[in-house]
């Protein structure tokens, strides 16, 4: 069944009440390592105990998790911006001494986080039918049957067509029959000659005996309006797993931040607090829309703007002499025809690299 459009492209719709009751909850343990370094001359990092005033009240509120040794006590709750190892580093750390192992100490902290599923978390059944959670819907909006059954999760049936995961359908129909007749079913697709496997035919008979339709489809009502759904819905138990790809570990956004030394463009990737790339296809869209100022802003102003001095005569890059307060072209050996302009730093870099290879790029300025 397709539901609400939030289940296209393998996304799944989840029932909020099921999540409240514990479906898909997980415990994520994350290890953090802190090294205590030596700088020679008896200088080293230190773990300080939390600072308190004369009444014994913490000076810094974000140190509430710390024990008297300066490390968070086991079982403490850590909130946003809390300190869990109070490491202090000397101001002068130039003379870093080569680590002699016995002087180096490491503190490892394991932080536990119980997570409930959220939009964007990845789930999978045992047939490789994986998908992210597209939306979470209140139970009263979910479809229900006249027996009162309300699903935990809705998967879009378009996932079956090209992937041909018959196993999942057999798991569903076999599971449904198995729990209505209180018996395990053997769902092998290969065991039929031995007679041990439960054939779909037998399963269908069991379903009919317990008042279900032979094909595993149920008649459902739409929870939002209370009307019957136009189609019969293939509904039954499927084993679902939560996969370790969770949005909480992946979400990332940046306005301004670090840049790469060489190109002066924003860094790449979440771990380096990188920027989000406006790629070629996105650029094409903006060109098609005629949004030239937006392209200019994205590709230059928000990336790596750089001011250069260009010689109008030879078309090469000059430089600005701060002593004489004038631009100068080192090719023409004068500063007469200089023009100021802005271009991406990566462009200036390209010109210089080309020049170093005996290729001369010349800018023609009208």
Among 42, 74, 75, 195, binds other proteins (CB under 8 A): 75
Query: Under the criterion CB under 8 A, does residue 74 sit at the interface with other proteins?
Result: no
Among 46, 49, 96, 112, binds other proteins (CB under 8 A): 112
Query: Under the criterion CB under 8 A, does residue 228 sit at the interface with other proteins?
Result: yes
| 261-300 footprint of other proteins as x/- string (CB under 8 A) | ----------------------------------------
Piece of the chain touching other proteins by CB under 8 A; list 34-42, 88-96, 223-231, 347-355: 223-231
DSSP labels, 225-276: T-PBPSS-EE-----EEE-S--HHHH----SS--B-TTT-PBP-SGGGTPPP
Q: What angle do CA 334, 337, 339 make, to 5 degrees?
A: 120
Among 20, 69, 99, 336, binds other proteins (CB under 8 A): 20
What are the φ and ψ backbone dihedral angles of 361, each rounded to 5 degrees? -85, 130
Whether residue 197 contacts residue 187, with contact meaning beta carbons closer than 8 Å, is answered with: yes
Quote the strand ranges of the chain, DSSP E.
Answer: 12-15, 26-36, 38-40, 43-44, 46-47, 87-88, 105-115, 122-125, 130-137, 144-145, 153-155, 217-218, 220-221, 233-234, 240-242, 305-311, 319-321, 326-328, 338-344
Q: Residue 20 or 336: which CB sits closer to other proteins?
A: 20
Q: Residue 79 or 96: which CB sits closer to other proteins?
A: 79
**Is 10 part of the annotated catalytic residue set?**
yes
Among 37, 118, 120, 232, binds other proteins (CB under 8 A): 232
Query: Under the criterion CB under 8 A, does residue 4 sit at the interface with other proteins?
Result: no
Query: Under the criterion CB under 8 A, does residue 118 sit at the interface with other proteins?
Result: no
Q: 329 — alpha (psi -120 to 50), left (phi > 0) or beta?
A: beta
Residues found near other proteins in the complex (CB under 8 A): 16-18, 20-22, 25, 27, 75, 112, 114, 138-140, 144-148, 207-208, 211-214, 218-219, 221, 223-228, 232
């Amino acid at each position: 069944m397709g539901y609400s459009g939030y289940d296209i492209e393998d996304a799944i719709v989840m029932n909020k009440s099921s999540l409240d009751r514990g479906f898909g909850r997980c415990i994520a343990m994350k290890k953090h390592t802190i090294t205590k370094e030596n700088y020679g001359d008896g200088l080293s990092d230190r773990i300080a105990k939390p600072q308190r005033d004369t009444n014994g009240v913490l000076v810094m509120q974000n140190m509430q998790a710390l024990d008297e040794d300066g490390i968070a006590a086991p079982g403490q709750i850590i909130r946003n911006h809390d300190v869990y190892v109070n490491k202090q580093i000397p101001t002068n750390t130039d003379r870093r001494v080569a680590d002699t192992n016995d002087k180096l100490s490491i503190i490892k902290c394991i932080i536990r986080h119980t997570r409930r599923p959220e939009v964007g978390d990845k789930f999978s059944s045992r047939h490789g039918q994986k998908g992210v959670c597209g939306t979470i819907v209140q139970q009263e909006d979910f479809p229900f049957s006249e027996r009162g059954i309300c699903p935990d999760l809705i998967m879009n049936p378009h996932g079956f067509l090209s992937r041909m995961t018959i196993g999942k359908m057999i798991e569903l129909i076999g599971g449904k029959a198995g729990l209505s007749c209180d018996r395990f079913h053997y769902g092998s697709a290969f065991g039929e000659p031995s007679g041990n496997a439960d054939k779909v035919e037998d399963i269908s008979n069991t379903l009919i005996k317990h008042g279900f339709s032979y094909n595993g489809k149920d008649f459902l009502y739409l929870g939002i309006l209370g009307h019957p759904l136009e189609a019969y819905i293939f509904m039954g138990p499927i084993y679902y797993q939560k996969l370790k790809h969770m949005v909480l570990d992946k979400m990332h956004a940046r306005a301004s931040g670090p840049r790469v030394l060489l190109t002066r463009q924003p860094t790449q990737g979440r771990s380096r607090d990188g920027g989000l790339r406006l790629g070629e296809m996105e650029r094409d869209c903006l060109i098609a829309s005629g949004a030239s100022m937006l392209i200019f802003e994205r590709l230059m102003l928000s990336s790596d703007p750089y001011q250069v001095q260009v010689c109008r005569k030879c078309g090469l890059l000059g430089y600005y002499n701060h002593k004489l307060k004038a631009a100068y072209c080192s090719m023409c050996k004068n500063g007469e025809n200089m023009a100021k302009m802005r271009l991406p730093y990566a462009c200036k870099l390209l010109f210089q690299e080309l020049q170093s290879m005996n290729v001369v790029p010349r800018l023609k300025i009208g």
